[in-house]
Amino acid sequence: MSGSHAMIEIRGLRKDYGRVQALKGIDLTVPGGQLFAYLGPNGAGKSTTIRILTGLTRMSGGSASLGGFDIERDAIAAKRQFGVVQQYVNLDQELTVFENLDIHCRLFAMKKKARRERIDRLLAYVDMTDRASTLIKKLSGGLKRRVTIARALLHGPSILFLDEPTVGLDAAIRRRIWALIKKIQQEGTTIFLTTHHIEEAEFLAERVAFLDEGRIVALDTPSNLMARVGSWAIDLVEDSGMKTRYFSTREEADRFRAHGAFTMRRVNLEDAFLSLTGKKVGQ
Amino acid sequence: MITGCLAVYRREMLILKRRFKRQAAGQAVSPLLYLLTFGYAMGGELRFDGTRYLDFLLPGLVAMSSMTQAFAISTDINVARFYWHIFDEFQAAPISNASYVAGEVMAGISRALMSICITLGLGYLFGVRLHYPPIFWLTILLNSFLFASLAVALAMVVRNHADQSLLTNFVITPMAFLGGTFFPLDRLPVWLQKILGLLPLTHASTAIRAAALGRPVHVMSLVLLAVIGVVFFGMAYYCVNKARD
């Protein structure tokens, strides 16, 4: 499953909705086993990219392959490579957890014994063995999210797409989901994560792409992206609004802080994004 | 293709199983009301060509039920697509569009067969005793296939729930009343007969009634239903592919 070869390859990917260009030529390679975060504000094109890669939306130009299979020419083979967790819960509310998982296995033509084994294993994996016969509509939002993650992993995909997997969840549940995502990646699955939660990308990702208005504006490790703006930051309230000063060393920041009652903090990915685009990720 | 088709079909059947009681009750309401009002209260003494009106009416209701219930899957597909986003799960799965369409069409046919059993059961309670030879069931299958395929195609074309209701109002409801369900078409002006002869339901109700009353069935009606059904299935396949935005 894992390895350094490219699991996701995107070349010149474009998507037009009439005159609106949602994606303006995305080039991206994600090697096997990497946890890759695709970061950008709402409307930047994150979900559109995932929808194209997972076969839900038609591309307007360019090409993409998953596990070496072209998503247009070898669509069925490409679809066998991945599991996907959408930002909305797309489970059958009137069916039980087990039934939802079983239908997914059948869509992937899994045999009866394999279906049973994988469902048992994945339910244990997401700590929901005792919920197998519960109707989906009776589960909380966090539990539903765990079912969608279990479902995406049932057929043993080498790539997992996570489209805003923690949107709408409270902080405690979000951290449980993060731990689960880390565990999945450590087992060798390539993870492509879209998020506008800065801390999510910082905590999880090995490599981050900043997406803004349909273009990748930066692509690097979180530490390198943050190092571009500095190591320390001081937020200043000015007449024109909030301003942030960045410093390479703590000593420089300390010297500046001596001139007033400022709060000093470590630089984060939001700062890197802001300095590149002039926007906040959460906008 | 078969495993994908069966997976889609299984999902629909699990949902049908969970809703069975309310679904069965819902399917019984219309035929019961038609049998009571048109057949029992108003048409008790009425006869067409020596046939009791209730005996005439029941095959028409069977044809109508097979159409409306097969077509009703369009609403379920619509809800699954726009409200629950279940359609995304099918589109991201390694199954062909033909598998998806076939699974949904089979589900539509199953719903239609369920409603026909209910209609026939109600007819039995009203004292209707007819023939049910293989050609009776074959016509029902063809009619259900045709309207379930049309349902999948149109469910892919519409953009919201309101459009879905409009389609039912403009396509299905007029056909239900004018397709030879409640009265013999030969009493209408010839020009109108010719127009109504273009409706698939007219052929279905005529063939189902002929089979149920032990009369010869026009094979051309069955051929026509099969051909239109295949065309609609092809349309559904095309529309599923086009449904990707």
When the pLDDT of each residue in chain A is averaged and rounded to a whole number, the result is 91
Residue B164: predicted pLDDT: 82
Domain ranges of chain A: 6-224, 229-277
Give the nearest chain B residue to A15 (CA atoms): B245
Q: Report chain A residues whose CB lies below 8 A from the CB of B82.
A: none
Residue B43: predicted pLDDT: 62
Q: Is the pLDDT of residue A4 over 90?
A: no
A6-53 pLDDT tens trace: 999 999 999 999 999 999 999 999 999 999 999 988 889 999 999 999
- B86 to chain A, minimum CA–CA distance in Å? 5
**B93–A79: do the CB atoms touch at under 8 Å?**
yes
- A255 to chain B, minimum CA–CA distance in Å? 55
Contact, A18 vs A65, CB < 8 A? no
Residue B140: predicted pLDDT: 98
Q: From the list B7, B14, B88, which residue is nearest A86 (CB)?
A: B88
A180-239 pLDDT tens trace: 899 999 999 999 999 878 888 989 999 999 999 999 999 999 999 999 999 999 988 777
Q: Residue A283: which pLDDT band, with cuts at 50, 70 and 90?
A: low
- Give the residue numbers in A contacting B (CB under 8 Å), as ranges: 17, 54-58, 76-77, 79-80, 82, 84, 86, 88, 90-95, 99, 103-104, 106-109
Residue A1: predicted pLDDT: 43
The low-confidence residues of chain B, meaning pLDDT below 70, are 43-44
Q: Residue A60: which pLDDT band, with cuts at 50, 70 and 90?
A: very high
B78-120 pLDDT tens trace: 999 988 999 999 999 999 999 999 999 999 999 999 999 999 9
**A56–B88: do the CB atoms touch at under 8 Å?**
yes
CATH of domain A6-224: 3.40.50.300
Residue A261: predicted pLDDT: 67
Residue A171: predicted pLDDT: 84
Residue A2: predicted pLDDT: 44
Q: Is the pLDDT of residue A145 over 60?
A: yes
From residue B208, how far is each of B138, B181, B203, B221 by CA, in Å?
A: 9, 10, 8, 10
Alpha helices in chain B (DSSP H): 2-18, 20-34, 53-71, 73-82, 86-91, 97-125, 134-157, 161-167, 173-178, 190-196, 200-212, 219-242
Q: Does B177 touch chain A (CB under 8 A)?
A: no
B117-131 pLDDT tens trace: 999 999 999 999 999
CA dihedral B220, B221, B224, B230 (to 10 degrees): -120
Q: From the list A90, A92, A104, which residue is nearest B15 (CB)?
A: A92
- Which DSSP helix (H) or strand (E) runs through A59? none
DSSP class per residue in B171-212: IIHHHHHHSSSSS-GGGS-HHHHHHHTTSHHHHHHHHHHHHH
CB neighbour list of residue A33: distance below 8 Å, 6 or more residues apart: A1, A2, A3, A4, A7, A185, A188, A189, A190
Residue A35: predicted pLDDT: 96
Domain of residue B175: give its range: 2-242
Domain count, chain B: 1
Residue B170: predicted pLDDT: 87
